[in-house]
Amino acid sequence: MLDQRSLDGDKRMIAILSDIHGNSPAMKAVLKDIRSQGAEKLIFLGDALTGPDPKGTMDILSASGCIPVSGNVEQWIIQGDIYQVPDPENELHTSVREKMLWVTDSIGKDYLEWILTWPDEYEESDAYFVHDSPYDRKIERLYRDNSDPKGYLYHSKGLHEDSPETTFAENASITNDLAHKKVFYGHTHAPYTRAAGGVTFCNVGSSGFCLDGDPRPAWVSWDGDSLQIHHVDYDLEETISLIRSGEYPLSEQEGYIYMLRTGNHWRTYRPPAADEN
């Protein structure tokens, strides 16, 4: 467990990570790297679950002493009736429902109750911590009725490095209203930093798998002034073994492994032709 002291006063390194998605071997490697760098505080920005090892990931996360923030996956798990997906005939919705049922069965009641306590945001020093973006949490979600099944699979846009300048300006305005000068977030699985409207934006990437062409898990260190993006090597074959030997949906295994190997989204995966097998 890391020391959970504040940044106020002497400089202390904070480690920030997001989007593990059940990749427990990657999470172990990231935490080992974080400890080796001397981080004294750990903030997790959501999306711990789905993936091959949800229970193992929650075990590691709870033992880390992190400050957790809720992601969209956690919202899917705790909100509404899981059977009331918007369209039961939609293949994607059906797949998500099956995975959420499996995840909830896997992690058990105690972890579900812990997830219920996770806040939507966290603030410290001059920084704002959120899963997706200030706009997604402060504005967009105000217009959603959480009791409406149509909002059950809500998936925010987040902030991409190539998002329009107007999008960053809008998020900078919200951040300035909160009296913060830095924003840390994940969601898009692609780490970067960008400045706009007097605010430093930092996407911490994914500690499960990045989707910017470099699949290595990522995390960010911050000491109140400087920040750094870190990439970590891990035993990918251990994760692949978990996928193939566990209960992860068979129809999605190859696309998932493709993401882990290449750092490209599963939507770009094309199964090999019959004559290539």
How many Å apart are CA 177 and CA 96, to the nearest integer? 36
Q: Locate the domains of the chain by residue range.
A: 14-234
CA distance 192 to 187: 12
pLDDT in tens, 109-156: 999 999 999 999 999 989 999 999 999 888 876 545 555 555 556 677
Mean pLDDT throughout 225-247? 94
- CA distances in angstroms from 74 to 3, 19, 79, 121, 193, listed in the order given: 25, 11, 8, 13, 25
**pLDDT greater than 70 at residue 186:** yes
Q: What percent of the chain has pLDDT over 70?
A: 82
| Comparison of pLDDT for 216 and 72, the residue scoring more | 216
Indicate if the alpha-carbon torsion angle 107, 112, 113, 117 is positive or negative: positive
**102-106, 114-118, 180-184, 219-223: lowest mean pLDDT where?**
102-106
Residue 20 confidence class, pLDDT cut points 50, 70, 90: very high
Q: What is the pLDDT of residue 8?
A: 47
79 CB-side CA count, 13 A: 20
CATH number of 14-234: 3.60.21.10
| Mean of pLDDT values over 51-61 | 95
Cα 164 to Cα 160: distance, rounded to the nearest angstrom? 9
C-alpha dihedral sign at 23, 25, 29, 34: positive
Residue of higher predicted confidence among 91 and 227: 227
Q: How confident is the model at residue 5 (pLDDT cuts 50, 70, 90)?
A: very low
Pairwise CA distance, residues 12 & 37, whole Å: 11
- DSSP assignment string, 107-128: HHHHHHHHHHT--SEEEETTEE
Q: Considering the entire predicted model, what is its pTM? A: 0.88
User: What are the tens digits of pLDDT across the range 86-97?
Assistant: 666 777 677 777
